Amino acid sequence: MSLTTLFDEVTVREMMTAWPTKPELHKLPNDSSVLNVVNAELINGYLDTGTAPAEQLIVIKDGAALHPRAYTTGGYVDPGKIAKWRGRGYTVQLRNLNRWCPAVHAICSAIQDETGYGCYATGFATPAGGQGLYHHWDQNMGLIYQIAGRKTWQIWEPGVDEPHNEQFASNTSPGSGVIDRMKSMHPDFEFDLVPGQILVLPRGWMHNPHARGQTEDSVHVTFVARELTGYWIVGKLVQAALTSTPLRRVIPPASVVDAAAFAGQVAEARDQLTQWLASADVSALAVELLQVARTEPNVDYISHAPRPRPTGPQSAR
């Protein structure tokens, strides 16, 4: 399994050399193995049996999330409560499927090995006529696989340039201000996804997904490709610079709390890092970093539906 699980071979070759920068709609290959392993039965089964990890679920409607106590009993997912909230129009978001569903883990691992991009997956079960998340954008590429029902995706061109991890997230300032401005604009794209279709949604493209007006429940899984950037490489190089003895030396307190002295320490550290980088074996580092890129664990690190604060006596603690 790899990107060819979701796309035809021609599309995969194009993606490997020219990573998409605009939304694209694709059809799942007829012989894709994903049809047999990631389907509505799998997603609904976790909810109907209560076997999904409680800490990985978010139950949300119109942008507002329930407290976990509303759908758990004794700390575990309660299938009866989940069914009740789904009947009331709430979407259930299943985060980090790749960390606890072997079938999804296999797909994400193959994509990561093939591309060097980390991969995690999130499932969504949205009742007919409902909406979970509102307008937002993501910090990485989303490969949205529609499994059952239909879902509408309204999409706007990026309002910020190259959002990256926690920087320029749509649920924090200044991104939240950009959201308010863009919501008044007509979407640049609008897709009604049907089962078997894949929406390629690059990072930064604002979207408003919903099943309003639909008569069937929608189920989809988003495979997120955590793209590598120069910033990622720089971060890894700084970690590797720990082998530099001068950079490991302690700075005396007087050279920290005195502004002028500390500025000199910053300049010295910069020069030491530059010197270390200039003498580093780039080929050897590349081999090491490629191994890291292909194997490091990946989790969903941004939620657009923050957990509500606890209520009752514990909230005052």
Lowest mean pLDDT, pick from 158-172, 209-223, 225-239, 276-290? 158-172
* Tokens read off for 132: 């979970």
SS3 for 213-239 is: CCCCCEEEEEEEEECCCHHHHHHHHHH
Average pLDDT over residues 116-138: 96
Question: How does residue 313 score in pLDDT terms, banded at 50, 70 and 90?
Answer: very low
User: DSSP letters along the chain, please?
Assistant: --GGGTS-HHHHHHHHHS---S-EEEE--TT-THHHHSSHHHHHHHHHHT-S-GGGEEEEETTEEPPGGGTEETTEE-HHHHHHHHHTT-EEEE--HHHH-HHHHHHHHHHHHHHS-EEEEEEEEE-TT---S-SB--SSEEEEEEEES-EEEEEE--SSSS-BTTBT-TTSTTHHHHHHHHTTSPPSEEEEE-TTEEEEE-TT-EEEEE-TT-SS-EEEEEEEEE---HHHHHHHHHHHGGG-HHHHSPPPTHHHHSHHHHHHHHHHHHHHHHHHHHHS-HHHHHHHHHHHHHHS-------SSPPPPP-SGGGG-
The percentage of residues in the chain with a pLDDT greater than 90, rounded to a whole number, is: 84
Average pLDDT over residues 216-239: 96
Question: How does residue 114 score in pLDDT terms, banded at 50, 70 and 90?
Answer: very high
The pTM assigned to this predicted structure is 0.90
140 contacts 224 by C-beta, under 8 angstroms: yes
Question: Within 10 Å of residue 311's Cβ, how many Cβ atoms?
Answer: 9
Question: How does residue 165 score in pLDDT terms, banded at 50, 70 and 90?
Answer: confident
The percentage of residues in the chain with a pLDDT greater than 70, rounded to a whole number, is: 94
User: What's the mean per-residue pLDDT of the chain?
Assistant: 92
Q: What is the pLDDT of residue 302?
A: 59
Is residue 229 over pLDDT 50?
Answer: yes
307 contact partners, CB below 8 Å, separation of at least 6: 58, 65, 67, 68
Q: What is the pLDDT of residue 312?
A: 44
Is residue 306 over pLDDT 90?
Answer: no
Question: How does residue 308 score in pLDDT terms, banded at 50, 70 and 90?
Answer: low
Average pLDDT over residues 125-138: 95
Is residue 221 over pLDDT 70?
Answer: yes
Is residue 1 over pLDDT 80?
Answer: no
Lowest mean pLDDT, pick from 88-97, 103-112, 161-170? 161-170
Cα R_g (the chain), whole angstroms: 22
Question: Which pairs count as long-range contacts for 71-80, CB under 8 Å and 24+ apart, including other chains?
Answer: 76/50, 77/47, 77/50, 77/51, 77/52, 77/53, 78/50, 79/47, 79/48, 79/49, 79/50
Q: Determine the length of the chain.
A: 317
Question: How does residue 172 score in pLDDT terms, banded at 50, 70 and 90?
Answer: confident
211 contacts 127 by C-beta, under 8 angstroms: yes
| CA distances for 27 relative to 49, 145, 210, 221, angstroms | 31, 9, 20, 15
* Tokens read off for 194: 């049907």
Q: What is the pLDDT of residue 300?
A: 82
Average pLDDT over residues 35-46: 96
Question: How does residue 304 score in pLDDT terms, banded at 50, 70 and 90?
Answer: low
> Cα separation of 175 and 102, whole Å?
35
Average pLDDT over residues 215-230: 96
